[in-house]
Amino acid sequence: MYHGGTNFGRTSGGPFITTSYDYEAPIDEYGLPRLPKWAHLKQLHLSIKLCEHVLLTGEPNHVSLGPSEEADVFTDSSGACAAFISNMDDKNDKTVVFRNVSYHLPAWSVSILPDCKTVVFNTAKVGSQTSVVEMASETKGLKGLKWDVFLEKAGIWGEADFVKTGLLITSHTQNLPLTICGIQQAYLLMKMKKLQDSASGNGTHSPFILKKPISLKAGKNEIALLSMTVGLQNAGSFYEWVGAGITSVKIKGFNNGTIDLSAHNWTYKAIVDPPPGDEPIGLDMIHMGKGLAWLNGEEIGRYWPRKSPTHGCVQECNYRGKFDPDKCNTGCGEPTQRWYHVPRSWFKPSGNVLVIFEEKGGDPLKIEFSRRKISGSCGSYAKGDCHDPNSISVVEKVCLNQNKCAIELTEEKFRKGLCPSVTKKLAVEVVCN
């Protein structure tokens, strides 16, 4: 996926997907480039473009160059030639000999030679700018707002504006175990107009069971179950057979055995002004529970900043080797989604109506708009154990006071023999006046 997106309203599938459909794409869901990924991919496309004619009209030939080393060569009748040289060793760099010329290939990488001679791109050598994307809090727009609060008494004791399941039980006074089984969705259990408990499945294991002792009074008892949608399965094998909702509700302990019964919400509204500037906007809902949000009648979508599992992440990512979807997981123990994209085109110059339908409870006074900004990561570089002392003077000579520069890797500029068998990287931190 090249450009991330946002599932506004109820368009997101799932289960357990709110609005973000970003997937670390080269262009994020806010329309900003994710660097260096976007620039590195751009260079890849430009390099393949140089090979376009011979790729489309030439004949391919696969050549083995040694253990874990190979080349895919394309030639045509005019003598044009393009080659893709590969090092499939995921741990060691290799010096590959192709057509009597030596080429250095980092581990698990491919070099592109549009003329079968000159390397214009290597997949493991990232030479583009690295940037940091941050959500800058914009507190002025929402600080001190007066929120209108509307409390809806959902359930069988009032007229609700959504489908509900109500259970009416006649009993003698006693404490009995209530068991609710469900798939995927989240639920609130309410007894006699009071919230008792909540439960939900998750993306890894969608079925769940809620066991809750309930105290029943003599006479009629009202129990309400509020189902909170978190997206339906929309991918995978046989997903049309994946259910969602309550599968059974049982109460044990009655004299006549187990009874199978299978056969609290707020709305907030405030007037807001658009955040200044022209950067993309996100709504920070970290202090809210679960629900839906609207701006000027446009549905921002579901929000649910629940935390992800605390295990399965890595401190440092290494993409070398065969693909594994869990290889470079990050963000363990953090909210699965904190900011919710709000297009600037939805804002009016003033008097914007922000409506929040909260299902579990939260603090609307802490809701904020944030501006998505790209910046460099300054002050974070440090000299490594394999530092070339000439590197600073080389970069200053070529790049200082220039709008752009290109540094050629030659023996005269850099000491190639320094730290043999170690992949070299040149990181440049620039301060502009």
∠ CA 353-226-368, rounded to 5°: 30
The reply to whether 234 and 315 lie within a common domain is: no
Residue 84 lies in a domain: yes
- Predicted confidence at residue 42, as pLDDT, reads 95
Distance of CA 235 to the CA centre of its chain: 18
Of 236, 263, 290, which one is at a domain's C-terminal end? 263
The reply to whether 52 and 77 lie within a common domain is: yes
The number of distinct structural domains making up the chain is 4
- Predicted confidence at residue 286, as pLDDT, reads 94
Residue 189 lies in a domain: yes
pTM: 0.69
- Predicted confidence at residue 266, as pLDDT, reads 64
Retrieve residue 149's tokens: 């609060």
Residue 354 lies in a domain: yes
CATH number at residue 223: 2.60.120.260
Residue with tokens 């006549």: 256
The reply to whether 142 and 176 lie within a common domain is: no
Sign of the CA dihedral running 14, 16, 20, 25:
negative
Domain range enclosing 407: 385-433
Residue 305 lies in a domain: yes
The reply to whether 324 and 243 lie within a common domain is: no
Residue 11 lies in a domain: no
CA–CA distance, 196 with 201 (Å, rounded to integer): 18
Contact 271, 351 (CB under 8 A): yes
Of 241, 263, 285, which one is at a domain's C-terminal end? 263
- Predicted confidence at residue 100, as pLDDT, reads 94
- Predicted confidence at residue 377, as pLDDT, reads 56
429 Cβ contact list (under 8 Å, min separation 6): 376, 378, 379, 381
The reply to whether 58 and 138 lie within a common domain is: no
- Predicted confidence at residue 187, as pLDDT, reads 53
Q: Can you tell me whether residue 165 is helix, strand or coil?
A: strand
Of 247, 263, 279, which one is at a domain's C-terminal end? 263
The reply to whether 247 and 314 lie within a common domain is: no
The reply to whether 202 and 327 lie within a common domain is: no
Residues in the chain: 433
CA-CA-CA-CA dihedral for 403, 48, 123, 381, to nearest 10:
10
Burial of residue 184 (CB within 10 Å: 0-12, 13-18, 19+) is buried
- Predicted confidence at residue 113, as pLDDT, reads 97
> Which regions of 201-256 does DSSP assign to beta strands (E)?
207-216, 219-228, 245-254
Segments in the chain below pLDDT 50: 155-173, 264
- Predicted confidence at residue 161, as pLDDT, reads 41
- Predicted confidence at residue 410, as pLDDT, reads 77
Residue 362 lies in a domain: yes
- Predicted confidence at residue 119, as pLDDT, reads 95
Contact 150, 217 (CB under 8 A): no
The reply to whether 271 and 145 lie within a common domain is: yes
Contact 319, 326 (CB under 8 A): no
The reply to whether 140 and 278 lie within a common domain is: yes
Residue 325 lies in a domain: yes
The reply to whether 142 and 281 lie within a common domain is: yes
Residue 399, number of CB atoms within 10 A of its CB: 15
- Predicted confidence at residue 163, as pLDDT, reads 39
CA–CA distance, 75 with 82 (Å, rounded to integer): 7
Residue 127 lies in a domain: no
The reply to whether 327 and 285 lie within a common domain is: yes
The reply to whether 200 and 211 lie within a common domain is: yes
- Predicted confidence at residue 45, as pLDDT, reads 96
